[in-house]
Amino acid sequence: MTDKLSQAIDQLSRDQAAAEHADLVVQIKEHNRLYYSEDSPFISDAAYDQLFQRLRNLEDSFPELSGPLSPTQKVGVTPSGGFKKVPHARPMLSLDNAFNDEEVREFVLRVRRFLGLEESETVGLIAEPKIDGLSASLRYENGVFVLGATRGDGQVGEDITANLRTLKEVPIRLGGGDIPKVMEIRGEIYMSREAFFRLNQAQEMAGKPPFANPRNAAAGSTRQLDTSVTASRPLSFFAYAWGEVEGDLGASHIAVLERMKEWGFSVNPLICKCNTVEEALDKYRLIEAQRASLDYDIDGFVYKVDRLDWQERLGMVSRAPRWAIAHKFPAEQAETMLLDIVVQVGRTGALTPVAKLEPVTVGGVVVSNATLHNEDEIARKDIRIGDSVVVQRAGDVIPQVVRVIEDKRLADAKPYEFPDTCPVCDSHAVREVLDAETGQLEAKRRCTGGLICPAQAVERLRHFVSRNAFDIDGLGHKQILAFWEEGLIKSPADIFRLEALNRSGEVDLATREGWGALSVDNMFDAINQRRKMELERFIYALGVPHIGRANARLLAKSYRSLGDLMAAGAAAFTRDGLVYEDMLNIDGIGIKVADAFIDFLGEPHNRQVIEDLAAEVEVLDFVPAETSSPIADLTLVFTGTLEKMTRNEAKARAEALGAKVSGSVSAKTDLVIAGPGAGSKVKKAQELGIRVIDEEAWIALIENA
Ligand code: IVH
């Protein structure tokens, strides 16, 4: 990621980030559905990756935005009907993306840090092309092909055994010797370019629509309910990974690939082993240069840690292994005309300039808006209305204006003047002084109108009804604005009072333009369905600064009921004592988040909002997920030096088993794992009567989990 692009996210307010995040989640889910269930992607892979990367970047910068429902935590979508569903014995993972050399180097550094490797130790990498097809899992029992499945959502795929049997490169019985009792081969089904052109010619001759690209053709051909159609399609398969294995595999990834060849699979001939990251990056450039001349589409490169014991230790995080990364080919830029600059106002009053562009295709997507971040950015790049500009979509999904093409500037173009009043309510818009000494100003100019500014009030209400909050269908942006303007909905609780108001005859929604009795009833149904609400969504819906979905969940998980949560917030107001300390001890909740929450509750009008709502809505207590792990739901503290694993590795294992890891010992701690050199934390644990174990006991505890 270049400085410029990371700066872009830095400059988003939390609210803008949350709004953008919610929007991205909706978009990505729809693209997932189109891609996985319909085989008819609407945008290019590069464009999808950019959306996805932007989501990741947002979640990296605003961790509270991530959560179990985010697409970053899931692979693909739940499979559609038609084929039998099959759970994968091991999840089918996806890959994290790197968009430049630096991110690949960082990947290797992360691996080193995680494993605690000495500098002298070599991290051997497998470098290979990323095939642009669809992944499949082939299960062999005693050397015989018994099940073939699509990836689906990564956990459950579709049974396409019959179709896969028709592929030449899917052996029905494995050749060679030394075959594990159970061996799941993972790889990519693809169509060569030559086969794709032939198929499209045939399609055209038969008066059928051609396929857009080889990947779509491969996907469409694989997911045929009529097996004879699949059999007639020229599909190929490259093996590159594996799922469940019962039997010994050996010590390195490359050695397993060699064995796969002996068993009868095609393994990509360009796969090679590299001893340094620079060598791997050289290979990337070499293959990138050959890309056009290959007979199959590739959309990047993949690097994998070769040693299998290291792969095992590195494990995975959410949806992707820590031991592999995809290095995508660079994104595109395009030139277009900047037609206008409009200034939008967010939920917190922040003014954001947006460039309106002459529509242009960049990376397969038509772009007509680009973010300009803030007024300093416009001034720095000297962007003027009417300029020819270079726009780019790279990693970041929101298109960026990279630069102005000054040679093409019109003689009468004037420097852009940023407004000092709010474009929505006309109140003054000011920049706060961040540092009195240097006079440094906040990047964003903000409207001072507060709740009299419709943009802010309405944005807060929109957040409240948005999909990850109360998720009220039928109360969209337009309706919220209209109801707000008429004074029918001023605060969230008013939403739940609307039906009574309508029934009393004071207003009659059904007679309004755009409404009818049915749509009014449907809206009230949607509202009434939300009269019971999970605590975490309730917290998220309040729109407290810094409390996105992930933090809302952490608070819900820790306090379990609205009553306890409110009581804790009130008791922590003085910022001393155990209640405050316990809040800070929730893993993932820092001072910033805790203080934001306590400050929010400290405002009487916010408490009023919650009380009014609680009179209308039953807030359900948090119910912890059931799990069989011996450390599930426990709060652990690691202290001292661990010798068999790094602190990161221990933390990752603990979290994967459902435990929380905290940095300090408090009354909420359940277990302390102490290595040599541990000091005050052990003492404190002993004082509080908390169990303390050593590393050996810790390993014994997790080994059987
Ligand atoms: S390895 C656990 N290697 O890319 C590792 N994946 O964006 C799993 N893909 O889901 C994947 N070529 O469908 C791997 N040489 C390659 C690949 C490859 C294409 C696909 C695969 C994966 C997706 C992730």
Domain residues for the domain of 12 are 2-79
Same domain, 14 and 37: yes
pLDDT at 333: 82
131 CB within 6 A, ligand 1: yes
- In which band, very low, low, confident or very high, does the pLDDT at 564 lie, cut at 50, 70 and 90? very high
Region 482-500: what's the mean pLDDT? 93
Per the prediction, the chain carries an average pLDDT of 88
Region 498-516: what's the mean pLDDT? 89
> Which CA distances in Å does 148 have to 187, 237, 247?
11, 12, 20
Cβ-count burial of 33 within 10 angstroms (0-12 exposed, 13-18 middle, 19+ buried)?
Answer: middle
Cα gap 18→466, rounded to integer Å: 11
132 CA: nearest ligand 1 atom: 19
CATH assignment at residue 569: 1.10.150.20
Same domain, 294 and 179: yes
User: 152 or 169, which is more confident?
Assistant: 169
Q: Phi and psi of 27, rounded to 5°?
A: -60, -45
Question: Does the pLDDT of residue 73 top 80, yes or no?
Answer: no
Ligand 1 pocket test: which of 35, 48, 137, 188 has the largest number of ligand atoms within 8 Å of its C-beta?
188
Q: Give the contacts of 397 (CB within 8 A, at least 6 positions apart).
A: 24, 47, 50, 51, 52, 53, 54, 55
Residue 58 maps to a domain: yes
Indicate the range of 18-27, 62-71, 506-515 predicted with least confidence: 62-71
Q: Which of 4, 85, 130, 532 is labelled catalytic?
A: 130
Same domain, 163 and 256: yes
Residue 500 maps to a domain: yes
Cα gap 657→633, rounded to integer Å: 9
User: 393 or 692, which is more confident?
Assistant: 692
Q: Phi and psi of 185, rounded to 5°?
A: -95, 130
- In which band, very low, low, confident or very high, does the pLDDT at 396 lie, cut at 50, 70 and 90? very low
CB atoms within 10 A of CB 200: 18
Cα gap 619→533, rounded to integer Å: 5
Q: Phi and psi of 246, rounded to 5°?
A: -115, 105
Same domain, 655 and 684: yes
302 CB within 6 A, ligand 1: yes
User: Would strands 182-190 and 97-98 be described as parallel, antiparallel, or unpaired?
Assistant: unpaired
CATH assignment at residue 664: 3.40.50.10190
Q: Phi and psi of 413, rounded to 5°?
A: -70, 130
Same domain, 183 and 262: yes
Ligand 1 pocket test: which of 56, 130, 268, 270 has the largest number of ligand atoms within 8 Å of its C-beta?
130
Query: Which residue has the CA at smallest separation from atom 22 of ligand 1?
Result: 94
Same domain, 139 and 273: yes
Give distance in angstroms: CA of 550 to centre of ligand 1: 28
Give distance in angstroms: CA of 301 to centre of ligand 1: 9
Is 130 designated active site? Answer: yes
Give distance in angstroms: CA of 150 to centre of ligand 1: 13
Residue 168 maps to a domain: yes
Two tokens, residue 698: 């810790």
Per the listing, tokens 């209400």 go with: 461
Residue that terminates a domain, selected from 19, 53, 79:
79
- Round the CA-based radius of gyration of the chain to a whole number and report it: 28
> Which CA distances in Å does 54 have to 18, 49, 72, 318?
12, 8, 11, 17
Same domain, 337 and 323: no
- Which one, of 617, 613, 611, lies nearest residue 494 by Cα? 613
Two tokens, residue 32: 């997932």
Question: Does the pLDDT of residue 627 top 80, yes or no?
Answer: no
321 CA: nearest ligand 1 atom: 2
Give distance in angstroms: CA of 130 to centre of ligand 1: 6
Number of domains in the chain: 6
User: 317 or 236, which is more confident?
Assistant: 236
CATH assignment at residue 176: 3.30.470.30
Same domain, 125 and 253: yes
The type of residue at 408 is: K
Residue 176 maps to a domain: yes
pLDDT digits over 331-385, tens only?
Answer: 668 899 999 999 998 877 889 999 999 998 875 567 899 989 899 999 999 999 9
pLDDT at 698: 92
324 CA: nearest ligand 1 atom: 5
Cα gap 544→552, rounded to integer Å: 9
User: 439 or 692, which is more confident?
Assistant: 692
Residue 379 maps to a domain: yes
Residue that terminates a domain, selected from 292, 311, 328:
328
- In which band, very low, low, confident or very high, does the pLDDT at 3 lie, cut at 50, 70 and 90? very low
Q: How far is CA 71 from the centre of its chain?
A: 5
Question: Does the pLDDT of residue 7 top 50, yes or no?
Answer: no
Question: Does the pLDDT of residue 2 top 50, yes or no?
Answer: no
Same domain, 322 and 339: no
Residue 442 maps to a domain: no
Question: Does the pLDDT of residue 630 top 70, yes or no?
Answer: yes
Give distance in angstroms: CA of 623 to centre of ligand 1: 36
Region 37-51: what's the mean pLDDT? 68
Do 396 and 409 contact (CB within 8 A), yes or no?
no
Dihedral sign from CA coordinates of 400, 406, 412, 416: positive
Two tokens, residue 408: 């093409």
Q: Give the contacts of 690 (CB within 8 A, at least 6 positions apart).
A: 665, 669, 670, 671, 672
Same domain, 101 and 245: yes
For the chain, percent of residues with pLDDT exceeding 90: 51
Residue 157 maps to a domain: yes
Residue 546 maps to a domain: yes
324 CB within 6 A, ligand 1: yes
Ligand 1 pocket test: which of 240, 294, 301, 322 has the largest number of ligand atoms within 8 Å of its C-beta?
240
Q: What's the number of CA atoms in the CB half-sphere (13 Å) around residue 627?
A: 15
57 CB within 6 A, ligand 1: no
pLDDT at 36: 62
- In which band, very low, low, confident or very high, does the pLDDT at 703 lie, cut at 50, 70 and 90? confident
241 CB within 6 A, ligand 1: yes
Helix axes 591-602, 604-616, angle to 10 degrees: 80
Question: Does the pLDDT of residue 456 top 80, yes or no?
Answer: yes
Residue that terminates a domain, selected from 328, 358, 381:
328
Same domain, 344 and 321: no
**What does the buried/exposed string (b/e) look like for 400-419 if buried means 16 or more CB atoms within 10 Å of the residue's CB?**
bbbebeeeeeeeebeebebe
Give distance in angstroms: CA of 304 to centre of ligand 1: 10
The type of residue at 104 is: V
pLDDT digits over 178-221, tens only?
Answer: 899 999 999 999 999 999 999 999 988 888 888 878 888 999 99
326 CB within 6 A, ligand 1: yes
> Which CA distances in Å does 580 have to 546, 565, 668?
17, 12, 12
Question: Does the pLDDT of residue 4 top 50, yes or no?
Answer: no
Indicate the range of 393-397, 587-591, 652-656 predicted with least confidence: 393-397
Region 231-236: what's the mean pLDDT? 93
pLDDT at 443: 85
Cα gap 177→195, rounded to integer Å: 33
CATH assignment at residue 375: 2.40.50.140
Cα gap 474→472, rounded to integer Å: 6
Question: Does the pLDDT of residue 293 top 80, yes or no?
Answer: yes
Same domain, 320 and 379: no
Cα gap 126→109, rounded to integer Å: 16
Region 132-146: what's the mean pLDDT? 95
> Which CA distances in Å does 669 have to 186, 243, 520, 557, 572?
42, 36, 51, 15, 19
Cα gap 73→648, rounded to integer Å: 20
For the chain, percent of residues with pLDDT exceeding 70: 93
Question: Residue 492 is inside which H or E element, if any?
Answer: helix 492-503
Query: Which residue has the CA at smallest separation from atom 16 of ligand 1?
Result: 130
User: Would strands 365-371 and 324-328 be described as parallel, antiparallel, or unpaired?
Assistant: unpaired
DSSP string of 366-406, one letter each residue: EEEEEE--SHHHHHHHT--TT-EEEEE-SSSSS-EEEEE-G
Query: Which residue has the CA at smallest separation from atom 6 of ligand 1?
Result: 130
User: 252 or 458, which is more confident?
Assistant: 252
Give distance in angstroms: CA of 129 to centre of ligand 1: 9
